Structure 1
Amino acid sequence: MEFLLSLLQSILQTALNPVTAAFVLAAIGLNVHFGFTGLMNMGQAGFMLIGGYGFVISVMNGLGVFPAIIISMLSSALFALLLGIPTLKLRGDYLAIVTIGAAEIVRMVARLANLSPITGGPSGIQSPNFRVELNALSPLPEGRTSFLGMNYMNTGVDDWWSRIIAWGLVALFLLITWLLMRSPWGRVLKGIREDEDAVRSLGKSTFSYKMQALMIGGVMGGFGGIIMVLPSAINPDGMGRATTFNLWMIMLLGGAATILGPLLGSILFFVVRLVISAVATEFVPSSILDAQQTEIVSWILIGSMLMLLVIFRPQGILGNKKELSFNV
């Protein structure tokens, strides 16, 4: 019973973690790209890096939080523009190859030792160097607060203020996505996903719409990068290929082309990993599985579950099979 209560509390803590919210934000952007527009973007981690570094570097150079957020948004949008102009005429796996290559270029540039004074190089930049401005905006009183068995500082590093910001942004972007996809603009995006030639025959500039979708989803990914770095640090290798693949897993798990799919997928992704690790640690002797092996087993089981999901329910948990028509 004690183990179960401890597990439930850990699940709640994981579900409300800012990192979970960061993946929700980035997955919402990826859902705009792939789920609603049909763009095979395999480089969403690049947008997270651009957005995160845009915010961190701006704050560390004396700009306030809100100007830094604007610069982060502009940086993500500019990256989408530079990436989209030569590549959005590509389809399917060709676009996927180009976008994953672009994200890797961003990561490797950020790792350059020559740029260490700006990006921190391979070691990145620690959060105390850029959190001061954000903490100063907190309206919460000093001290700690307990809620549903969770006890955190009101304002600090692992705090309630970060969680309020993170999940407030999640709610905002879910609302924005819902409104956009109910609009005529959103219906054009779905038309491009299903039959781009038919939309073009109606006089619509499909290139323009895809560029807009790439920029909007990229800015959402940039916000995911900002939230990702708040708890500890920004590190180039912390948002690499594995991050993009995890985002795809989250989106497919929750359901592509759904509003709440990224939210459900992200929470389940982190919670399932936690449950598998906790159960294995509690009931499997360390002589059979140590901590490192347990982590590996959890990834194997998650991968297996994703394979079964794609085979037997390709639309995801919340998805609709009618939304799985892609013009690629």
Structure 2
Amino acid sequence: MNWIGIIENTIKALIGINAVYFALAAIGLNVQFGYAGLLNFGQAAFMACGAYGLGMTAHYFQINMWWGVLIGLGFSLVLALLLGVPTLRLRADYLAIVTIAAAEIVRLVVRSVRFNEYFNGSDGINNFGGPFQRLGSVDWRIFDQVQLFKLNPQQRDYGPSLTIPGVDWTINVEFTGRQLWALIVGWGLVLILGSFVYMLMRSPWGRVLKGIREDETAVASLGKNVFGYKMSALIIGGLIGTFAGFMLALDRGSVQPDNYSRDVTFYILTALVLGGLATVTGSIVGPMIFWAVFQFADVFLREAVGREGITLFNLRILDTTQVGPTNQILIGMLLILLMVYRPQGLFGNRKEMAIDAR
């Protein structure tokens, strides 16, 4: 069993780009679901808006990628309005139905051969991440004196090295310059947007939003515009989720429709519940733990199975082709145990959940 490789892969997953874009999406979903009580099962659609807005701008129009950021945010704003205006005045389950359907509509539209001219079908849009990656190789300095960093996109030895005494283990967590640049930008965005949501939820606006989650009739009786608060929460959460689409597209330099399927939203929701609803810490740490556990289980199972598979009484019960589904089963079982023994998540507040339950 290659324990060093397992640990290295687990640490890389803990802080890797998948954890970054899940954290960004979970922060946005937390505004909608954790704080406002809006059942949004279509966060992947907002991510797709950001990714395709950026990809189309860079690939087809050949203009600055910052315009692509604005266009992607514009797409998400329009999507939030289209989803919210007809449904937010109704019961929460109607929004859930509409959002999961809208996410699939967005994915199938960009995947359709009818719109190949704009979205390139299932192949997606490729090779547009160059300008972003070149920013990482710039000599970043403070007042032209103190060098912050200058990354070589192809160099592979960026990252910490840890020697564990007594067992003669050296653990190397290595990233290429390209990967490290994406991580620097991504975790910077997580810090900025997480701080923004933290302060926002401690403002009068945030307190009203939590009141709507608990009893919107009582809030409406105080003269507050419940629909307006719900709409603003849907928009803000969707726009934050758009940045997750930006980071995934920029890291890969491409965008494909199947990267934004409904499964993605449910994985993000799982990570958010793992960390804890209505907490900024939970929406960040939850995705990190989710991906670390997911990667650990995957690599561990592959090491345990090996080429020969696992047999019992001359019957092969597990081989390499079954590792992926088995890993998902284990993650599902862990989630069930979490919901039974700690339903508020790792960082959630049980008292707040009890208030909401009434």
**C-alpha distance after superposition, 1:136-194 (max 9, x if no partner):** 32232435242212333323xxx211111111111111111101011111111100100
Matches within 5 A, 1:128-207: 128=127, 130-138=128-136, 139=138, 140-142=150-152, 144=155, 145-148=157-160, 149-155=172-178, 159-207=179-227
Could you say which residue in structure 1 is the equivalent of 2:98? Answer: 98
The structure 1 residue matched to 2:300, chosen from 271, 274, 279, is 279
1:244 corresponds to: 265
- Write out aligned runs for 1:41-80 (5 A): 41-60=40-59, 61-80=61-80
- Give the Å deviation of 1:315: 0.6
Shift of 1:312: 1.9
Question: C-alpha distance in 1, partners of 2:67/2:196?
Answer: 21
Q: What is the SS of the residue equivalent to 2:39? A: coil
Distance 1:90 1:326, change over 3 A: farther
Instruction: Tell me which residue corresponds to 1:28.
Output: 27
Q: What is the alpha-carbon distance in structure 1 between the residues aligned to residue 238 and residue 321 of structure 2?
A: 34
Distance between the aligned counterparts of 2:43 and 2:296, measured in 1? 27
2: CA distance, partners of 1:213 / 1:89: 14
Percent identity between the two aligned chains: 41
Alpha-carbon distance in structure 1 between the residues aligned to 2:130 and 2:262? 30
Q: How far is 1:227 from its partner?
A: 1.1
Structure 2: tracts of 5 or more residues without a match = 139-149, 161-171, 311-317
1:10, distance to aligned residue in structure 2 (A): 1.1
Query: Contact 1:254/1:261 (CA < 8 Å) preserved in 2?
Result: yes
Q: Deviations 1:121-140 (Å, cap 9, x if unpaired)?
A: 112122x2x11221232232
Contact map agreement 1:252 1:315 (CA 8 A) in 2: yes
Equivalent residue of 2:26, what SS? Answer: helix
SS of residue paired to 2:347: coil
Give the equivalent residue in structure 1 for 2:314. none
Q: Partner of 1:260: helix, strand, or coil?
A: helix
- CA-based RMSD of the aligned residues comes to 1.7
Output the CA distance in 2 between the equivalents of 1:278 and 1:84: 41
- Equivalent residue letter for 1:260: T
Provide the residue aligned with 2:287 in structure 1.
Answer: 266
| Code of the aligned partner of 1:282 | E
Q: Structure 1: give runs of 5+ residues left out of the alignment.
A: none
How many pairs were matched up?
Answer: 322
1:218 is the counterpart of 2:242: no
- Look at both structures and tell me which one has the larger radius of gyration over its CA atoms: 2
Report the equivalent of 1:253. Answer: 274
- Following the alignment from structure 1 to structure 2, what is the Cα–Cα distance between the partners of residues 91 and 248? 20
SS in 2 for 1:195: helix
Q: State the Cα distance separating 1:19 from its structure 2 match.
A: 2.0
CA distance in 2, matches of 1:327, 1:49: 33
* Separation of aligned partners in 2, 1:245 and 1:146: 33
In 2: Cα distance, 1:125 partner to 1:322 partner: 47
Three-state SS of the structure 1 residue aligned to 2:175 is strand
Matched, 1:319 2:341: no
- CA offsets 1:189-224 (integer angstroms, 9 cap, x no match): 100100101111111101101111100100111111
Q: Deviations over 1:92-144 (max 9, x none)?
A: 32221111011111111111112112112112122x2x112212322324352
**Tell me, what secondary structure is at the counterpart of 1:83?**
helix
Give yes or no for the alignment of 1:306 onto 2:306: no
Preserved contact between residue 151 and residue 181 of structure 2 (Cα < 8 Å) = no
